[in-house]
Amino acid sequence: ETGVTQTPRHLVMGMTNKKSLKCEQHLGHNAMYWYKQSAKKPLELMFVYNFKEQTENNSVPSRFSPECPNSSHLFLHLHTLQPEDSALYLCASSQGAGGSSQETQYFGPGTRLLVL
């Protein structure tokens, strides 16, 4: 397995369900990111972790809960979501975090989420 992987690739959930998205990077990077991509909108940064520490929470509702147990794995726990949360959720990693010369981000394939 190489690069950044995400599971599941597709997810349908009801508003009362609890689910988790998983991301794993095989690049030896130290920073990991969650983004939300909706139609006709730019990529929206949700969370940033650098060396397992959360360094950015972009005013994300508490129904999204990130977890970073180590530099290679990142989770996004979902509960009581709303239909407007339906989107493509992208994970990315970089060697360094913002402000460093090694901040080029590499993305996973995304999880297409549909909330009913």
Partner 1 sequence: EDQVTQSPEALRLQEGESSSLNCSYTVSGLRGLFWYRQDPGKGPEFLFTLYSAGEEKEKERLKATLTKKESFLHITAPKPEDSATYLCAVGGSGNTPLVFGKGTRLSVIA
Tell me which residues touch partner 1 (CB under 8 A).
4, 6, 40-43, 45, 48, 55-56, 58, 90, 92, 97-99, 103-110, 112
Cβ closest to partner 1, residue 17 vs residue 86: 86
The whole-angstrom separation of Cα 74 and Cα 70 is 8
Q: What's the min distance (Å) between Cβ of 4 and partner 1?
A: 7
Cβ closest to partner 1, residue 53 vs residue 103: 103
Cβ closest to partner 1, residue 67 vs residue 98: 98
> Minimal CA–CA distance to 90: which of 116, 72, 59, 113?
113
Cβ closest to partner 1, residue 17 vs residue 44: 44
Place of tokens 């090694």: 102
The whole-angstrom separation of Cα 50 and Cα 47 is 10
Q: What's the min distance (Å) between Cβ of 2 and partner 1?
A: 13
Q: What's the min distance (Å) between Cβ of 104 and partner 1?
A: 6
Instruction: Return the exposure string of 91-112: e unless at least 16 CB atoms fall within 10 Å of the residue's CB, then b.
Output: bbbbbebeeeeeeebebbebbe
